[in-house]
Amino acid sequence: MTPIRILIFEDNDSLREGLCQLLMLREEYTIVGDYGDARQVKEVVIKGRPDVILMDIDMPGTNGVEAVKQIREYDQNAQIIMLTVFDDNGHVFDALKAGANGYLLKRNVSDMMVQAIEEVLEGGAPMSPSIARLVINQLHEQRPINLYMLSDREKEILGSLAKGNSFKLIAADLGISFETVRTHIKRIYDKLHVHSQGEAISKALNEKLV
C-alpha cells in the first residue's frame, strides 16, 4: 500500500516535532516535510506532492489562510487541515473560504489527529467539537435568500416590492409586462409560503432577504 504523504507547517517547534513523532508511529503515513513557516509553500507543496497538509493558521511571514489560498491556485486535491489555538468566527471562516478541509484546535490535536486524517481522506470535514458548534451557530444565525430558491429576477422583484413599488412601476423599471410581474410575484409567494404582499415584504425584511 502506498503511504499517505503528509506535509506539516507549524511554527511551534515542540508541537511540530510531536506531530511528526505521532504520525511516524503509523506505517501507513510518511512525512514529506515539516516547516516552521510557509514562505516557500508553493515550492514545498509541488515538490512534496502531499495527500494531507497540516497547516498552522498563525505563522510568521505567510499566515496559514494566505498559504491555503496559494496552494489552491495550483493544487485542488491535497486535503488541508488547519491547526490553531483560535476558535473565533473570523479565523474559522477565512480558512474554510480559502479552501481548508478541516479545522482542529491545537488542544485537541493529539487526540484527534489520526482520526481527522482518515476522515478528511474519506471526504469528510474534521473539526474540533467547539469549531463544529461555531459553524452550526453561524448557519443558524444566517437566513440566506437561496434557502427559498429564489431566482435572480425574483430577488430583484422582491427587493423592489420591499421598497414600496407597485406592480406597474416594477414592470416599467424592469422592462417586462405587468402580467410577467404578477407571475413572478405569485412564484415568490409560493416559495416564501406567504399569501400577500404584506407578508412577503415582512418576511423579506425580517429574514434579511433584501
How confident is the prediction along the chain (210 residues), in pLDDT tens digits per residue?
799 999 999 999 999 999 999 999 999 999 999 999 999 999 999 999 999 999 999 998 899 999 999 999 999 999 999 998 877 767 888 888 889 999 999 988 889 999 999 999 998 889 988 888 877 777 666 555 467 888 889 989 998 888 888 888 999 999 999 999 999 999 999 988 888 788 888 888 877 787
The CATH number that domain 145-206 falls under is 1.10.10.10
Domain positions in the chain are: 4-141, 145-206
Whether pTM exceeds 0.75: no
Encode burial over 27-39: b for 16+ CB neighbours within 10 A, e otherwise.
Answer: eebebbebbbbbe
The helix, strand and coil proportions of the chain, stated in percent and rounded to the nearest 5, come to: 55, 15, 30
Whether 145-206 and 4-141 are alike in CATH topology: the answer is: no
Q: List Cβ neighbours of 79 (8 Å cut-off, separation of 6 or more).
A: 51, 52, 53, 101, 102, 120, 121
The CATH number that domain 4-141 falls under is 3.40.50.2300
